[in-house]
């Protein structure tokens, strides 16, 4: 395994995907509720960015917003999604379809249901190839075979004619990855790619993703709640809480020296880090549902270090190093900068 050694800066020349101020909302009882609220993300070529957070924090919706696949009645209200210099939000639908799968693709959490049960997997991969390239069916079949080999499917020639129910979960996820890679996209969004798989298969799929990234230079946006997976695969980490980013940094920054109280709490509650015989620490309280998010810092009601401005003022970003940013008043005070930030609530 070879992770790219050079910790590239956020605004490097090789940026492939640049998301700015993304806001996606759903209609609530009184007003629209921004479930993704002003998220900024940047990924460079060959880099893996992990988007981490609890269920319901908006990480999957962020991914769907990037592809403009937000389910109705959701709506993207604001922001830009630049992929290779083009703003996906401004593209007409026909154009957007050519981008999806071709320049950016996505694999889903549940390989069991992500394949059409009545079509052989080979045909589905061939279809993914021919969606974006005019190739003969014979050539497409050869390409599908090569893709199957690449994603490590044993006996690929006979597997092409198998139906999804004849394959195991891990195999299906490999097929999904083959389909997602069919047109060699520059960005691959992986939404909890291993959550539905057992641990040994998880490892294999992570190895495969790493191989894909290193071999093809595909940038990966990895959505997960599992910090173990983050540790294995990610170069950089973005932590989300209640629709907002709370901390972004290099993997080592986030995993070894987290600054935001939420990130610290997440790490403390990991079983692997706890010492044997000690009680596992947890973050008190639960994530409030969208629409009941507090004003000011959204984590403040559960935060042990909350102080005066936290419940009133949105924390602005505090840059800790070139690549490490936290949105927290407490961190800002430690750093000696004034409680700068967003609009007073």
- Interface residues toward another protein, by CB under 8 A: 67, 69, 72, 97-102, 105-108, 110, 113-119, 127-128, 131-132, 163, 165-166, 176, 179-180, 182
Q: How far is the CB of 114 from another protein (least distance, A)?
A: 4
Minimum separation from the CB atom of position 192 to another protein (A): 12
CA atoms of 334 and 332, how far apart (whole Å): 5
Half-sphere exposure for 191 (CA within 13 Å, toward CB) = 20
Q: Which is nearer to another protein, 175 or 283 (CB)?
A: 175
Alpha-carbon span 191 to 107, nearest angstrom: 6
> Least CB distance from residue 51 to another protein, whole Å?
16
Shortest Å distance, C-beta 118 to another protein: 5
In the complex with another protein, which residue's Cβ is closer, 192 or 247?
192
Run of H or E residues at 199: helix 199-216
Angle between helices 169-181 and 121-132 (to 10 degrees): 20
**CB-based contacts of 252, cutoff 8 Å, min separation 6:** none
Q: With contact defined as beta carbons under 8 Å apart, do 318 and 327 qualify?
A: yes
SS (H, E, C) 246-311: EEEEEHHHHHHCCCCHHHHHHHHCCHHHCCCCCCCCCCCCCCCCCCCCCCCCCCHHHCCCCCHHHH
Query: With respect to another protein, which residue has the nearer C-beta, 19 or 176?
Result: 176
Q: Cα(342)–Cα(311) distance, rounded to whole angstroms?
A: 13
Query: Between 61 and 306, whose beta carbon lies closer to another protein?
Result: 61
Q: Is 98 in a helix, a strand, or coil?
A: helix
Q: Which is nearer to another protein, 82 or 123 (CB)?
A: 123
Measured from the CB atom, the residue of 41 and 187 that comes closer to another protein is: 187
Residue with tokens 């290193």: 214
Task: Compute the least distance from the CB of residue 124 to another protein, in Å.
Answer: 8
Q: Which of 155, 151, 186, 150 is nearest to 172 (CA)?
A: 151
**Least CB distance to another protein at residue 101 (A):** 4
Q: Determine which helix (DSSP H) or strand (DSSP E) holds 104, and give its type and residue range.
A: strand 104-107
Nearer to another protein, 69 or 340 (CB): 69
């Amino acid at each position: 395994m070879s992770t790219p050694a050079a910790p590239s800066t956020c605004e490097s020349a090789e940026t492939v995907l640049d998301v700015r101020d993304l806001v996606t909302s759903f209609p609530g009882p009184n007003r629209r509720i921004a479930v993704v609220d002003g998220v900024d993300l940047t990924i460079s070529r060959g880099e893996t960015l992990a988007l981490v957070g609890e269920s319901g924090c908006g990480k999957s919706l962020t991914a769907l917003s990037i592809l403009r696949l937000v389910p109705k009645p959701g709506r993207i209200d604001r922001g830009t999604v630049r992929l290779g210099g083009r703003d996906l939000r401004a593209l007409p639908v026909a154009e957007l379809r050519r981008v999806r799968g071709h320049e950016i693709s996505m694999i889903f959490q549940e390989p069991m249901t992500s394949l059409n049960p009545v079509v052989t997997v080979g045909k589905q991969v061939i279809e993914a190839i021919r969606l974006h390239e005019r190739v003969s069916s014979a050539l497409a079949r050869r390409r599908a075979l090569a893709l199957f080999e690449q994603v490590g499917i044993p006996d690929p020639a006979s597997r092409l004619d198998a139906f999804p129910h004849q394959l195991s979960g891990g195999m299906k996820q490999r097929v999904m990855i083959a389909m997602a890679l069919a047109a060699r996209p520059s960005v691959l969004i992986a939404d909890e790619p291993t959550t539905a798989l057992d641990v040994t298969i998880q490892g294999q799929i992570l190895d495969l993703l790493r191989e894909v990234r290193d071999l093809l230079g595909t940038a990966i946006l990895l959505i997960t709640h599992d910090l173990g997976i983050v540790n294995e695969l990610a170069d950089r980490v973005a932590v989300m809480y209640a629709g907002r980013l709370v901390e972004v940094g290099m993997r080592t920054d986030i995993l070894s020296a987290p600054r935001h109280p939420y990130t610290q709490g997440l790490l403390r509650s990991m079983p692997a880090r706890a010492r044997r015989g000690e009680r596992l620490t947890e973050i008190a309280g639960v994530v409030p549902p969208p629409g009941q998010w507090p004003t000011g810092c959204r984590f403040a009601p559960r935060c042990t270090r909350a102080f005066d401005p936290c419940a009133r003022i949105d924390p602005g970003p505090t840059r800790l190093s070139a690549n490490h940013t936290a949105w927290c008043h407490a961190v800002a005070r430690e750093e000696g900068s004034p409680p700068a930030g967003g609009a007073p609530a």
